[in-house]
A and B are shown apart, each in its own frame.
Chain A
Amino acid sequence: MQADDARLVARLRAGDQVAFATVVRQWSPAMLRAARFHVRTHASAEEVVQEAWLAVVRGLDGFEGRAQLRTWVFRILVNVARRRGRAESRVNAELREPTVDPGRFRDDDDPYPGHWRAEAAPVSWGPEPVLLAAEVRAVLEKGLAELPERQRAVVELRDVHGFDHEEVCELLDLTPANQRVLLHRGRAKLRGVLEGVLG
């Protein structure tokens, strides 16, 4: 460890807030830029930087000084950013698919492109008690069990167990936007399942 670096690490380990605030202010802009390379949105990059600093705070005692402090901090940052980037691209792949069969909507050369085709439009399911019938519930339970794991986790926690969106984001390590994408896809699929028996 170089002398400056060793002094800085010692100050940080001793809980010197000025030293910490200084490095956070100095290094965060570059960290933000590097994070942004891996993730889709600026907000997501900010979260990554924050998460990386928290990991630094937690790991400070384990820093062995084999690399420069800055190198070590950025290595943590990149790990967090890559992990987040991979999670986002998984969600994005899921996001691209429409949740309703595009064949149910009018073609682009129709006077009302993208509107429901009369014969394929959703039909009312009738009075609510129908939904509580045992057979309908069984179909819904089966549909839930067949959802992709990530969608199933979000839908079950939100709609079956009644957790709020913040709790779910925290539990599943999701950004609010990704949580909504998974919720939307899961719910839309289950609507389709119910439509199969009720529509």
Chain B
Amino acid sequence: MTPRDIACIELVELLTDYLEGALPPDEVAAVEAHLETCAKCRTYLAQMKATIEALGAVTVETLPDEAYDTLLTAFQDRFR
């Protein structure tokens, strides 16, 4: 069976399901058939992957320093 045709505008909305392995096999085939012939969507997919990769290196907010101090003190007191 030939995979169904998908347009780029639809493909870009399927990529996370594709990357997560959440698409049924016929949809995977359709996505891959499209990617094979469409360099622009391949670029888009590469950018999505690069974004995920880059997210692994960002610094995000955490507790304020005072909170850490409070917690450490509480922990030490517990064993005093």
Contacts and interface: CB of A to CB of B under 8 A. Distances in A.
A and B pair up: yes
B79 to A, nearest CB: 29
A59 to B, nearest CB: 33
A105 interface: yes
B7 A160 contact: no
Contact of B55 (A128, A144, A165, A180): A144
Interface of B is mostly: helix
Contacts, number: 100
Contacts of A162: 56
Interface in B1-35: 7-10, 12-13, 15-17, 20, 22
B57 interface: yes
18 contacts: A99-B12, A102-B9, A113-B7, A115-B7, A116-B8, A116-B38, A121-B40, A123-B43, A136-B54, A140-B54, A144-B55, A155-B55, A160-B58, A176-B22, A180-B20, A188-B48, A194-B50, A195-B47
Given A125-B47, A183-B20, A188-B12, 5 more contacts: A121-B40, A121-B43, A125-B50, A131-B53, A162-B56
Interface of B: 7-10, 12-13, 15-17, 20, 22, 38, 40-41, 43-44, 46-48, 50-61
